[in-house]
Amino acid sequence: MKELPNPTFPLSQIGLRAALWPAPATATSTAAARTSVPQAPAVILPQAIESKQGITVGWARHLDDVRAAQRLRYDVFVGEMGARVSSPVAGHDIDLFDDFCEHLLVRDELTQQVIGTYRVLTPAQARRVGSTYSDTEFDLTRLRDLRERMVELGRSCVHPDHRQGGVILALWGALAGFMHRNKLDTMIGCASIPMSHNGVTNGDAAASIWRQVSAKHMAPIQYQVQPRLPLPVERLDSTLDVEPPALIKGYLRLGAKVLGAPAWDPDFNAADLPMLMRIDDLPARYRKHFLGA
């Protein structure tokens, strides 16, 4: 395989994206309470932590909760995937978006160890930070009309001893409830394909997965986006018969669409697929499971 491209331009334009949203209103939020920046409209979080099958799922209430999620992220992304992260706290995956996000945690009920996590960036908090993480990897101009009811999901990971499906289903159930309570209908995010995937140690696996999903799961043209640093799929072998990562397969079963070609993320040693999922597109059986409707 030829060498992958190096970033030659700044991918992040944080603070330069005010035109993407109208001016924010002012109120309180749980994420705002963790930062010193001006407050934003509140999101509705449940008061109780839900428990099922030996695990508990709930939202971070304190910095210690967030730190526990960031330690798990570091173990998975750096320890397993070989990501390079620059963090102010050793052994933690921390970036500038964390203070603006709600953090969803799954814990082992017996040990209270965090074994799964997502972070959620709401429309109000995205206005405050000036961008979503996905904006740093893709030109999301075509999603402008969706932003007022669109959340970004990110930094999803599950402890290696708990990847049998129950943890991710608990996370998805809590996310569905969050969307319903806050009258939000669209989720976006970057779904990663590690460069070392299914025994393939270069970008050929990602190119092959892109070929598979682009044939069946592309979003309508009006929502398609462009990567800022494209993975050079035209120079890779896209003919391999490889399974997508479990998370991507799960998203597709839930009715998610792929928004465009993968971006190359050199820091995380991965190809990122931009994905969009709308509550209205959930298959009926999943709507009943997650929303009871």
User: What is the pTM assigned to this prediction?
Assistant: 0.84
Domains in the chain, please, with CATH? 28-35+45-291 (3.40.630.30)
Q: Residues in the chain, how many?
A: 293
pLDDT tens string 71-103: 999 999 999 888 898 889 999 999 999 999 999
Q: Vertex 132, ends 38 and 159: CA angle to 5°?
A: 105
d(CA 187, CA 278): 6
The per-residue pLDDT for 47 is 62
- Listed in sequence order, the residues at least 6 apart from 186 whose beta carbon sits closer than 8 Å to its beta carbon are 146, 149, 150, 151, 276, 277, 278, 279
pLDDT tens string 228-240: 999 999 999 999 9
pLDDT at 273 over 80: yes
The per-residue pLDDT for 48 is 61
More reliable by pLDDT, 47 or 202 = 202
* Pairing relationship of beta strands 257-258 and 138-139 according to DSSP bridges: unpaired
